[in-house]
Chain A
Amino acid sequence: MRRALAVLVVALALPAAAGAQPGVGVKAKTGKGLYAGYCLSCHGVDGSGVISTSHPKGVLDLRGLGPPLRGVGAQAADFYLTTGYMPLADPHDQPRHTKSPFDKQEIAALVAYVASLGKGPKVPRPQPRLGDLSQGQSLFTEHCAGCHQIVAEGGYVTNAVAPPLHQATPVQIAEAVRIGPYLMPKFPVSQISDAQLNSIIAYVQWAKHPDDPGGWSIGRIGPVPEGLVAWLIGAAALVGCCLLIGRRFQR
């Protein structure tokens, strides 16, 4: 009886907890209004950041935690908002690529507001058409493939996921390289020039639909599925050999 009661209580509490997200019911259309509704509890007043849990609770009593946004510029705001990385329900989660709750105008308003908080980099304008695919591949291999896998299928680092890049737009790739979202290192111009970045983006665009010279992609994630297929074919061939050896010669 007590257990049934406990289940009931949890079932009732869950939707309430899910609803307790920042910004629910916010009607504002201005950047500042949206910021107050969706961002303030973690990023603080005017992007000052919340870096300790001893900070007073924010909107809807959420215990927010978030880095300061002064000086991150339009570049970072555009990346985190267009990818749906932000708003993030739990600051301890890794942000994932999701559909943004904002429409284009709202994102533009928020980006403009965050950019106004301090001097920071603008949204980049990469031109992958000027890039060189072959150079892009070697640069991607050198700088990116360790985590994101050679055809950008994504992978893992300890404690986190390196996301696949199927959905990444050229602008988002350029932004991510420069700002290093979440656990990704950032690559300054001294490491990857803008021209090289164009090549990398050209390669990622190509890697979304690679040629598959073998005719069969098998997930494009390397030796595990390929080995599995090889073993299945190999095992069938071995059974065939056994049957052949065991067969009698017709005299």
Chain B
Amino acid sequence: MSAFRKWAIAFGVLLLGRKKRQPRVVDRPRIVPPGEPDPRAEWLVLLLLLLAAAAAVGFIVVYSFNHLAHQTQYLGLALGLALAFVAVALIVVGKRLVVTEELEEDYSLPHSTAQEELQQLVDESGDRFTRKRLLLAGGTAAAGAIGAALVVPALSLGPLFDTGALYETPWRRGVRLVDEHGKPLLLDEIERETFYTAYAQGADKELLGAPVVVVRFEPSQLHLPAARRDWAPGGVVAYSKICTHAGCAIALFRKPTFPVVEPGPALICPCHYSTFDPTRAAKVIFGPAGRPLPQLPLAVDANGVLRAAGNFSGPVGPAWSGVRSKPPRNPS
């Protein structure tokens, strides 16, 4: 405890000591030619800094929305505007407020008077600023807001937000598999050596959990874990169409014409070539994906229509903090 107090006192003394600045030498002649104050430029700088702050706040506001059309574009626009306003403010400061003069001089040995001269030079260069505090406050506002805008997205990494919705999928026992036009998929119509995209009947197709990719094999070709033996009626398997790496759609199906010499069947994501083996419960056989595609257990009803026999084997889509902690569920 005493050590902590010592440190705190030492830190306070340091802060106080730093605040006391040497009084400026007034009786020395000026080095920098005096410039006219330019209040209009100062107001302009202040306005630009506040605009930058407003744009950065705009970024945070846009980011806080859950679903917004063209959100990415607005985010880029807001941050870009904030940085552009700061840049213009600095340009105005440099062009119209800081006294500029070009001098040529040989390097001299470091000397205390030379250092004082430099200090004086810096101080006098700021002579034209009449509202220093106001501008400083503007600068702080812009820097603070932009800093916050850069930091806020990091909140999405943490457990602050409720990730419950990410576990939700529309699949439950009995939900029919339909094609993009809403027509139910019949077991007998599913052919081998091709692939189908199906959706949960009645669900929004845009939901990450809705689309599945359906492929058919000879039942003898499938090597599913023992617990999933009944998940593939007639050799038909269904996996989430959303890649577990970055959430792209599994759009590629590789099927060998002559398996003796050709690579085996695979579901492939075109974004980063994550490759999954559909005959082995979508095990990752290549690429950056960290876990297999969630498998949807299937069943066939009396009319030969493919139906889900439950929810996915795991959460759908790219990973988030604690992705493996809970099984997928249905929205309540």
Residues of A within 8 A of B (CB): 51-52, 65-67, 91-92, 145-147, 155-160, 180-188, 190-191, 245, 248-249
Contact = CB atoms under 8 A, between A and B. Distances in A.
The prevalent SS among residues of B at the interface is: loop
B268 interface: yes
Given A147-B252, A186-B191, 17 more contacts: A51-B260, A66-B258, A92-B261, A145-B251, A146-B270, A157-B252, A157-B266, A158-B263, A158-B266, A158-B275, A158-B286, A159-B263, A180-B255, A181-B257, A183-B256, A183-B263, A185-B193
Interface in B191-243: 191, 193-196
Nearest to B274: A158
A181 B94 CA distance: 66
A158 B257 contact: no
B262 A182 contact: yes
A158 B250 CA distance: 13
Given A66-B258, A147-B252, A180-B255, A156 B273 contact: yes
A10 B191 CA distance: 49
> Could you say which of B254, B263, B286 has the most chain A C-beta atoms within 10 Å of its C-beta?
B254
Contacts of A91: 261
A91 B263 CA distance: 13
B262 A186 contact: no
> Could you say which of B193, B195, B286 has the most chain A C-beta atoms within 10 Å of its C-beta?
B193
A183 B270 contact: no
A183 B254 contact: yes
A155 B91 CA distance: 47
A159 B193 CA distance: 18
Nearest to B215: A185
A160 B254 contact: yes
Contacts of A156: 273
A70 to B, nearest CB: 14
B189 interface: yes
Interface residues of B, number: 29
Contact of A185 (B194, B258, B261, B273): B194
Nearest to A52: B260
Nearest to B95: A249
Nearest to B192: A186
B273 A190 contact: no
Nearest to B254: A183
26 contacts: A65-B261, A67-B257, A92-B261, A145-B251, A147-B251, A155-B270, A157-B254, A158-B266, A158-B268, A158-B286, A159-B263, A160-B254, A160-B263, A182-B262, A183-B254, A183-B262, A185-B194, A185-B195, A186-B191, A186-B194, A188-B191, A188-B194, A191-B194, A191-B196, A245-B91, A245-B94
A54 B95 CA distance: 84
A190 B191 contact: yes
Nearest to A145: B251
Contacts of A158: 254, 263, 266, 268, 273, 275, 286-287
Nearest to A184: B255
Contacts of A52: 260
Contacts of B268: 157-158
Contacts of B262: 182-183
B129 interface: no
Nearest to B287: A158
A185 B253 contact: yes
Contacts of A245: 91, 94
Nearest to A244: B91
Nearest to B197: A142
A185 B255 contact: yes
Contacts of A184: 255
A184 B253 CA distance: 7
Contacts of B261: 65, 91-92
Contacts of B286: 158
Interface in B14-67: none
